[in-house]
Structure 1
Amino acid sequence: MVVIIGGGPIGMACGIECKKAGLDYVILEKGCLVNSLYHYPTTMTFFSTSERLELDNIPFVSNSAKPTRAEALEYYRRVAQNQQLNIHLFEEVSDVYKVEKGFEVKTSKRTYSAEKVILATGFYDIPNLLGIPGEDLPKVKHYYKDPHFYAFQKIVVIGANNSAVDVALETFRKGADVTMVIRDGEIGRTVKYWVRPDIENRIAEGSIKAYFHSTLKEVREHEVVIHTPEGEVVIDNQWVLAMTGYTPNLSFLEKLGIKLSEDGVRKPFYDENTMETNVPGLYLAGVICGGLDTRRLFIENSREHAVKIVAHILTAKE
C-alpha cells in the first residue's frame, strides 16, 4: 500500500497517479478536503489561471481566467468524487515508523502498514509568529477569512506582501480603520501589479495609515505599541492581523529521518528525478519540497511530482 499524507491538490494528484497505475493507496487528510484552500480568505482569487490548477487534464472551468476560492473548492471536490479517490478526511497522522518491510503510519483512528509513504503536507498550518508580548491575546489573528467581521473596527495589519495588502484593502473598503506596520521601506515587490497602485494610493492619501521601517513591539488589550524610526507609537486597536506567512512542519520531517539543508532554507533532501528522500520509500511532493522557501513551488509546478513518484514506485516493483 501507498499512504499519501495530505489531501490537498498535490496529494490528490498522487492518488490519481496511484489509481491509474493500479496501486493500492489511501490519502490521509487531517481536516476537510483541500483543507488549506478551505482556510484561504473567502474573497481570494488565485494568481494562476484555471487550466494551470487542473489535475490529470480534467477541465477546470471558471467564470474568469483566474478562479476564485469557491470555484477551486468546487473543482477539487468534483475531481475527488468523479475519480472516486480513496480519501480519509479528518484523520490526522501522528507518527510514521520505519519497519522491516516499509512503514507503519499511525493516525487518530488507526494504524496503516505501507510499503511507500508520500508526504504532501503543504505549509499553511504553522504561522510565523511575531514573538512579542501580547501575541497570545485573542485579538491577534494569523489567519484571515472575511472582511465584514472587521467593519468599523480599528485594525493593525502586519506585513506588506500580497496577503497583507489584500487584507488592508478589503477591510478598509468595509469600513475598518486600517494601520499597516511594514518592516521595509516599501510595499512588497511581489504584490500583484494590478493591486500595487491601489494600496500605494490609499496610503498616499491617508485612507490607510502605514508605518514603514517599523515593527510591532507589543500588543495590549485595547492598544498596540509600534517601534518606528521616530520612536515608539501607541495607538488604539481592536484587532491585529499578522500576515507574516506560514511554514511547513519541518520538525516532522526531521523526526522521520529526512535530512534538511543546514542553511536558512532548510530544504529537505530528495532526488529531483524520483522525489525519494534519503529515507528509502519515503517521498516528498508539493511545496514541502522547498523547505522554508515556499514561494517557488505551486500547484502548477508540483503536479509533476506525482508522476515522478509513481513511476519510481513502479520501477522498484519490477
Structure 2
Amino acid sequence: MQQFDVVIIGGGPIGIACGLEAKKQGISYIIIEKGPIVNSLFNYPMNMQFFSSSEKLEIDEIPFISKEAKPKRAEALEYYRRIVTSNQLNIHLFEKVLDTEKQGETFLVKTDKDEYQSKNVVVATGFYDIPNTMEVPGEDLPKVSHYYNDPHFYASQKLVVVGASNSAIDAALECWRKGAEVTLVIRGPEVGPRVKYWVRPDIINRIEEGSIKAYYNSTVKEIRPHEIVINSPEGVILLENDFVLALTGYKPNFAFLEKLGIELSNDPKRLPKYDPATMETNVDGLFLAGVICGGMETHKWFIENSRIHAPIIMNAIKHKMQSVAEES
C-alpha cells in the first residue's frame, strides 16, 4: 500500500494547483482523477468560452496565452495538460475513489485500482457530475440530456432547452444557429442575470425577433416520446418535440462529503464546514478546495478565486508536519 503526506481527490485545475504546491513544498502527494486530466473541463460543451480571461485561469503563475482575451475549452485543456506533463505531476487518471475512511490519525483511500494511506486528504471534486433533476415524468427518456456537447447533433430538430444560465443560453444559441427549432423554458421572469455580458443581448434579441421561442415563469410538467408538456402563465402548453436539454445546473456529491464526516449546513445552501484560514474541515486532516466549498452556491467559487486554496492548504499541512516533527 502506497503512503503519501496528502491524497488529492480530483484532477481539475484546483486539484492540479494543489499538486503543484505540494511538490513545491516537498510534500509527498498523489492526485486521483476518475477521468482524463481536468475531467470536468473535458466534459464542457465543445465550443464553450470561459467568462474569465486567460490570466485569471492561470495556476502557480504559469502563463496562459490564448487567442482571445477569454479562452475556449480546447485552449484550457491544452494549458492544464501541459502543466501536468511538463511538471511531471504524480496524477493517476481514470481511477475512481470508492471509499475514504479515517483510521485513527490516518486516512485509507480505496479506489477501483489501489489503496493509499495518508494523514491528509484534499477533496477538490467540483460539482459537475450530479445534475439538478426536474423530477418530472419522462425525464429518463433517451431524448433527455442534462449535458450538452455539440450543436450539430440537434440540427433540424425540435429542441427544448430548460434553464436560463450560461450553459442553457449558449446551447440555445448554438443549436439555433445550426438549424434547430429552439424553445427555451425559463423558470424565472427573465434570462439569467449572470449570463455572459456579450451573450445576453444576443439571446434577448433572438427571443424578441421570434427566432427562439421563450416561455418565462414556466416549468416542465411532463416529457413524452414526441411531445413536452409545459406549465406556463397562459396555462398548460403541449409542444411537439424531438429532444430536451435540461441544463438546470449541477450539485456537489453531498453523500460523499457526509460519508467523510464533513458537517453541512441544514439550509438549502448545504454549505460544508471548514476553516477559511486553512481550508480544513471539521474532520482533522481533511481539506476542501475549489467550487465544492460553496455547497449549492456553485457560482460562489470558481477557478480564478479558488486558486488561492492550494497554497493555503499546503501551508497548513506543512505546518502540521513540522509541528509533529518538533514534538518527536
Q: TM-score range by the shorter chain?
A: over 0.9
Out of 79, 82, 87, the position equivalent to 1:75 is 79
Letter aligned with residue 145 of structure 1: N
Rounded to whole Å, the distance in 1 between the matches of 2:166 and 2:116 is 40
Q: Note if 1:294 corresponds to 2:298.
A: yes
Q: Which residue of 2 aligns with 1:214?
A: 218
Where in structure 2 are the equivalents of 1:180-199 lying within 5 Å? 180-199=184-203
The residue that corresponds to 1:110 in the other structure is: 114
Output the TM-score relative to the length of structure 1: 0.99
Q: Which residue of 2 aligns with 1:120?
A: 124
SS of alignment partner, residue 160 of structure 2: strand
Deviation at residue 92 of structure 1 after TM alignment? 0.4
1:13 paired to 2:17: yes
Q: Distance in 1 between matches of 2:193 and 2:57?
A: 24
Which of residues 132, 138, 142 is equivalent to 2:146? 142
User: C-alpha distance in 2, partners of 1:97/1:230?
Assistant: 53
The residue aligned with 1:224 is 228
Amino acid of the structure 1 residue aligned with 2:28: D
**Correspondence 1:131 to 2:135:** yes
Distance in 1 (CA, whole Å) between partners of 2:57 and 2:147 is 23
- Three-state SS of the structure 2 residue aligned to 1:95 is strand
After the TM superposition, list the runs of 4 or more consecutive aligned residues in structure 1 that deviate by more than 6 angstroms. Answer: none
Q: 2:316 aligns with which of 308, 312, 318?
A: 312
Letter in 1 for 2:109: V
Q: Does 1:158 align with 2:154?
A: no
Does residue 252 in structure 1 map to residue 261 in structure 2? no
In structure 2, distance between residues paired with 1:194 and 1:100: 53
Tell me the residue number matched to 2:66.
62
Separation in 2 of the partners of 1:145 and 1:55? 26
Superposition deviation, residue 55 in structure 1: 1.2
Displacement of 1:263 in angstroms is 1.4
Deviation at 1:194, TM superposition (A): 1.6
Matches of 2:129 and 2:63 in 1, distance apart?
29
Quote the Cα distance in structure 2 between the aligned partners of 1:295 and 1:169.
22
1:285 matched to which residue of 2? 289
SS at match of 2:55: helix
Question: Residue 99 of structure 2 aligns to which amino acid in structure 1?
Answer: D
1:197 and 1:122 map into 2 onto residues whose CA distance is: 30
For 1:271 and 1:81, locate their aligned partners in 2 and report how far apart those are by CA, in whole Å.
32
1:164 to partner: Cα distance: 1.0
Give the aligned residue type for 1:14.
C
Task: Supply the AA of the counterpart residue of 1:172.
Answer: W
Structure 1 unpaired stretches of 5+: none
Deviation at 1:14, TM superposition (A): 0.4
Alpha-carbon offset, residue 101 of structure 1:
3.2
- The answer for the alignment partner of 1:167 in structure 2 is 171
Question: Equivalent of 1:89, from 93, 109, 113?
Answer: 93
Q: Per the alignment, in what secondary structure is the counterpart of residue 307 of structure 2?
A: helix
The TM-score with structure 2 as length reference comes to 0.96
CA RMSD of aligned residues (A): 0.7
Q: Distance in 2 between matches of 1:139 and 1:276?
A: 42
Residue 55 of structure 2, aligned match among 41, 51, 57: 51
SS in 2 for 1:198: helix
Q: Secondary structure at the match of 2:236?
A: strand
Alignment partners' CA distance in 2, 1:200 and 1:121? 34
1:162 CA displacement: 1.3
**Per-residue CA shift, 1:163-196, capped at 9, x if unaligned?**
1111111100000000111111111111122212
Find the residue that maps to 2:159 and give its secondary structure: strand
State the alpha-carbon separation in 1 of the partners of residues 149 and 81 from structure 2: 20
